[in-house]
Amino acid sequence: MTCHEVRGELELYLLGESGRSAEIQRHLDGCAACTRECGRAAAMLETLDRELSLPVAEGLADRIVARVRRPRRAWWVAAAAVLAAAAVIGFLKPARLDGIRATGSFEVVSARRLAWKAGTVRVEVERRAEPAVVETPSGEIRSDEGTFEVRDMKTSLAVAVLAGMVTLAGRNLAAGETAMLGGEPVPVKQEAPRQPPPQDPPRETPAMPPKEPPSKQDPPKQEPVPPPVRSEGLRIAVVDLKKCFDPQKSLWAREFEATLNKVIADMESDLAALDKRIRDLNEQIRGIPDRNSQLFMDKAKDLKIAEIQRELTRRMNQTLLQDRRRELANKVYGEISAAVSLIAVQEGYDFVLRMEEPALDEAVTETATARIVNRVVLYAGERFDITGRVIERVNQSFERKK
Amino acid sequence: MSGAPEEFEDVVRLFAAPLFRYCLREVGDPALAEDLVQETFLRTYRTMMNGRPDDVAAWLFGVARNVCREEHRRKPDPLAAEPASKAPAEHEQLSAAMESLDDAERSLLHLKHAEGRSCREIAEMLGKPLGTVTAALARAYRKLRERMQ
């Protein structure tokens, strides 16, 4: 084989997929330039393995099948209904949606996710595996099942739940409830009596019709302000979970780190044993003068098996390590969570907010984006921080249990 | 593919994971990647109902690539497009090199390295002769190695 031919098949040779492995091996034994190129090919394969083999969540295909196949019918039905209602409501935007009927000015981000644009948007959500999400500049509105309206209130958005349940910035709203999202705080006034949920509201006459430009004859009407949420007197604390996971501070985290290091050391030892076997076999093969002998063939076969074993062990170790890390992190988090709950009950906190998200699953979430997106509290005064007391209690639980 | 929904479901089950990994590498966010895979299948559903394309992998990866590009255009914020990889330089270098490949070559590399399939399995999956798959794969590797030097 020529150098050109060999270099065209180096990766397949390294992967054991070339039909001319013996010829390539013979060429490599006598060609330093192609051997160097072979090293580059091996490094590139390593990069491809590392870069492309990302984890996939369980049940992905089932979820996609459920979302893609089933909603097709729903889409046509929804589109027909939307078009039929368009003449009544004034502006409707038919869209491909998975069990969501939405009217008003919005963009479709995906089959279960809309982006609010302007005016009033009315959303009816059928139950699916995933909640429906409406993105707004002030935050997300989620619903597993229900009907709600999002209305522009100039500096904020009003969300009115007509049926079912809606989650707004972590707070659940039931049918008949209204809340504000973002903007200036609404002044606390006398709480308005809660309206009972409407009984099966007719689609042609929604409870909050979309805003129409006022005619010149009609005086502008004052928008009704939804009842404010009472929040005086709430006791709030914050916890820095990252510090709680710091092995310098937390005994559980220290044990977590030590256990993980031992797992890694065991894995490296396994790999080192396989590396040694591969080296030994290479030595033995080099010492066999007759390359057509049965002994040479047997040793070459053993070498290939050892290399495959090494690769399999490496890949399996990666998965096992990830699982072990997740399992240990969950265990440590369980201790932290229990300590937070105890302190909250004993000291009378209504809310304990997270300041930092620990890297529970580095392979997926440890990116700057995830860290930023997962932040809940951007600032809290020191007097609200109970991290020290949480670590103290977590350490006490460690000493008790160990 | 005759266009039966069951066969479409088979295609989804076969390609959901490779496409997810591809999209995840592009956008860095698992939830968004899943949405983009869903979008890819939604866009290809009707075509597949009328008959399976010759190279279904290349076609799906081509659509997924467009869907990811649209997502990048929609969210030009660099933070939103942060790669899932931990080695940005290597990630960028490989991404640039992968861009020089055609959809068929890119899909083969994903099936080989993200899914860990053998050439024979890929050939069976795509309904192609083994020699065609290995030749295309060798070509993709050669191009990639040249670009990454």
A86: CB partners within 8 A, 6+ apart: A92
The rounded mean pLDDT for chain A is: 75
Between positions 105 and 134 of B, the ones with CB within 8 A of A are 109-110, 112-114, 116, 118-119, 134
Residue A87 pLDDT? 29
Please state, in angstroms and rounded to a whole number, the distance separating the CA atoms of residues B143 and B145.
Answer: 6
CB contact under 8 A, B113 and A40: no
Query: Has the ipTM of the complex gone over 0.85?
Result: no
Residue B134 confidence class, pLDDT cut points 50, 70, 90: very high
* Highest averaged pLDDT of the listed ranges A171-175, A183-187, A230-234: A171-175
HSE of A148 in the Cβ direction (CA atoms, 13 Å)? 32
Please state, in angstroms and rounded to a whole number, the distance separating the CA atoms of residues A173 and A194.
Answer: 12
Q: Distance (Å) from the C-alpha of residue B42 to the closest C-alpha of chain A? A: 6
A221 pLDDT more than 60: no
A314 pLDDT more than 90: no
Query: Mutate which of B15, B38, B44, B71 to disrupt the A interface (most A C-beta within 10 Å)?
Result: B38
Using CB atoms, pick whichever of A45, A61, A110 lies closest to residue B16. Answer: A61
Q: What own/partner pairs with CB < 8 Å and gap ≥ 24 does B69-78 have?
A: B71/B26, B71/B27, B71/B32, B71/B36, B72/B26, B72/B27
Residue A145 pLDDT? 87
CB contact under 8 A, B42 and A54: no
B90 neighbourhood in chain A, CB within 8 Å: 47, 51
CB contact under 8 A, A64 and B12: yes
Which residue intervals of A53-110 are DSSP H helices? Answer: 60-69, 71-89
Residue count (chain A): 402
A197 pLDDT more than 60: no
Residue A207 pLDDT? 40
For residue B121, the tally of other CB atoms under 10 A from its CB is 14
Residue A68 pLDDT? 65
CB contact under 8 A, B138 and A367: no
Q: Distance (Å) from the C-alpha of residue B124 to the closest C-alpha of chain A? A: 15
Q: Name the least confident of A70-74, A242-246, A272-276.
A: A70-74
Using CB atoms, pick whichever of B37, B84, B137 lies closest to residue A367. Answer: B84
Residues pairing with A114 in the sheet: A108, A134
Residue (of B11, B3, B127, B113) closest to B63 by Cα position: B11
A233 pLDDT more than 60: yes
Query: Chain B within 8 Å of A298 (Cβ-Cβ)?
Result: no
Residue B135 pLDDT? 92
For A2-13, what is the mean pLDDT? 88
Give tens-digit pLDDT for B76-128. 544 444 444 445 677 778 888 888 888 889 889 988 888 888 899 888 888 88
Q: Distance (Å) from the C-alpha of residue B84 to the closest C-alpha of chain A? A: 7
B38 neighbourhood in chain A, CB within 8 Å: 64, 67-68, 110-111
Q: Name the least confident of A60-64, A283-287, B6-10, B12-16.
A: B6-10
Residue A337 confidence class, pLDDT cut points 50, 70, 90: confident
Residue A184 pLDDT? 39
Please state, in angstroms and rounded to a whole number, the distance separating the CA atoms of residues A251 and A244.
Answer: 9
Residue A152 pLDDT? 76
* Highest averaged pLDDT of the listed ranges A178-187, A280-289, B52-61: A280-289
Q: What's the distance, CA A197 to chain centroid?
A: 34
CB contact under 8 A, B38 and A68: yes
A187: CB partners within 8 A, 6+ apart: A228
DSSP state of A192: P
Work out the percent of chain B whose per-residue pLDDT is above 70. Answer: 82
Please state, in angstroms and rounded to a whole number, the distance separating the CA atoms of residues B29 and B44.
Answer: 23
Please state, in angstroms and rounded to a whole number, the distance separating the CA atoms of residues A242 and A375.
Answer: 11
A209 pLDDT more than 50: no
CB contact under 8 A, B45 and A72: yes
CB contact under 8 A, A40 and B145: yes
CB contact under 8 A, B86 and A366: yes
Query: Chain B within 8 Å of A68 (Cβ-Cβ)?
Result: yes
Using CB atoms, pick whichever of B17, B116, B148 lies closest to residue A60. Answer: B17
A391 pLDDT more than 80: yes
Residue A198 pLDDT? 40
Q: Is the model more confident about A230 or about A134?
A: A134
CB contact under 8 A, B79 and A72: no
Query: Chain A within 8 Å of B69 (Cβ-Cβ)?
Result: no
Residue A222 pLDDT? 52
Residue A282 pLDDT? 92
CB contact under 8 A, A48 and B148: no
Q: Is the model more confident about A280 or about A168?
A: A280
CB contact under 8 A, A369 and B82: yes
Please state, in angstroms and rounded to a whole number, the distance separating the CA atoms of residues B91 and B111.
Answer: 18
Please state, in angstroms and rounded to a whole number, the distance separating the CA atoms of residues A384 and A352.
Answer: 9
Give tens-digit pLDDT for A148-157. 888 776 667 7
Round the CA-based radius of gyration of chain B to a whole number and report it: 15
Give the pair of three-digit tokens for residue A266. Answer: 């065991």
Residue A372 pLDDT? 65
Residue A278 pLDDT? 92
Give tens-digit pLDDT for A66-121. 776 544 433 334 443 443 333 233 233 444 577 888 877 777 777 788 888 777 78
Residue A205 pLDDT? 36
What is the phi/psi pair of residue B86, to 5°?
Answer: -95, -10
**What global pTM score does this model have?**
0.40
Residue A208 pLDDT? 43
For residue A194, the tally of other CB atoms under 10 A from its CB is 11
Work out the percent of chain A whose per-residue pLDDT is above 90. Answer: 6
Query: Chain A within 8 Å of B29 (Cβ-Cβ)?
Result: yes
Residue A327 confidence class, pLDDT cut points 50, 70, 90: confident
For A135-139, what is the mean pLDDT? 82
Using CB atoms, pick whichever of B13, B85, B141 lies closest to residue A11. Answer: B141
Between positions 48 and 67 of B, the ones with CB within 8 A of A are none
Between positions 46 and 65 of A, the ones with CB within 8 A of B are 47-54, 56-57, 60-61, 63-65
